[in-house]
Amino acid sequence: MSEKNLDKKIIDIFREKEKVNIGYIVAGYPSVDFTKQFLQNLDNTALDMLEIGIPYSDPLADGKLISHASFLASEAGVTTDTVFDLLTEVKNDISKPLIFLIYYNLIFAYGIDEFIKKCCEANIKGIIIPDLPYEEAFEMSEKLRENNIALIPLVSVTSGNRMRKIISQGDGFIYAIGSLGVTGSKQVDLPRLESFINEIREVSDLPVSLGFGIKTNDNVNTMRKYADGVIVGTSIVEFTQKNDVDYVIQKINELFK
pLDDT in tens, 140-189: 999 999 999 999 999 998 888 899 999 998 999 999 997 765 444 556 78
Using CB atoms within 10 Å of the CB of residue 83, give its burial: 0 to 12 exposed, 13 to 18 middle, 19+ buried.
buried
Query: Would you say 128 and 51 are in contact if contact means Cβ atoms under 8 Å apart?
Result: yes
pLDDT at 134 over 90: no
First to last CA, the chain: 27
pTM, entire model: 0.93
62 in active site: yes
Query: Residue 61 pLDDT > 80, yes or no?
Result: no
Rounded Cα distance, 175 and 161, in Å: 17
pLDDT tens readout for residues 196-213: 999 999 999 999 999 988
β-strand pairing of 49-53 with 174-177:
unpaired
pLDDT reading at 235 higher than 90 = yes
Percentage of the chain exceeding pLDDT 70: 93
Contact 134, 160 (CB under 8 A): no
CA distance 227 to 68: 29
Residue-wise DSSP of 122-178: TTEEEEE-TT--GGG-HHHHHHHHHTT-EEPPEEETT-GGGHHHHHHT--S-EEEE-
Residue 188: per-residue pLDDT: 72
Q: What is the pLDDT of residue 60?
A: 64
What percent of the chain shows pLDDT beyond 90? Answer: 82
Residue (of 137, 115, 133) closest to 124 by Cα position: 115
Cα angle value 150/152/158 (rounded, 5°) = 165
How far CA 120 is from CA of 148, 158, 171, in Å, comes to: 9, 33, 16
Q: Report the amino acid identity of residue 161.
A: N
182 touches 213 (CB < 8 A): no
Catalytic residue among 48, 51, 171, 228: 51
Q: Which residues of 1-35 are buried (b: 16+ CB within 10 A; e: fewer)?
A: eeeeeeebbbbebbeeeebbbbbbbbbbbbebebb
Tell me which of 7, 18, 62, 142 is the catalytic residue. 62
- The amino acid sitting at 24 is Y
Task: Provide the pLDDT confidence category of residue 1 given band limits of 50, 70 and 90.
Answer: very low
Residues 47-51 have a mean pLDDT of 98
Using pLDDT thresholds of 50, 70 and 90, give the confidence band for residue 63: confident
Q: Which helix (H) or strand (E) holds 25?
A: strand 20-26
Q: Whole-number mean pLDDT of the chain?
A: 92
In this structure, are residues 224 and 236 in contact, taking their beta carbons and an 8 Å threshold? no
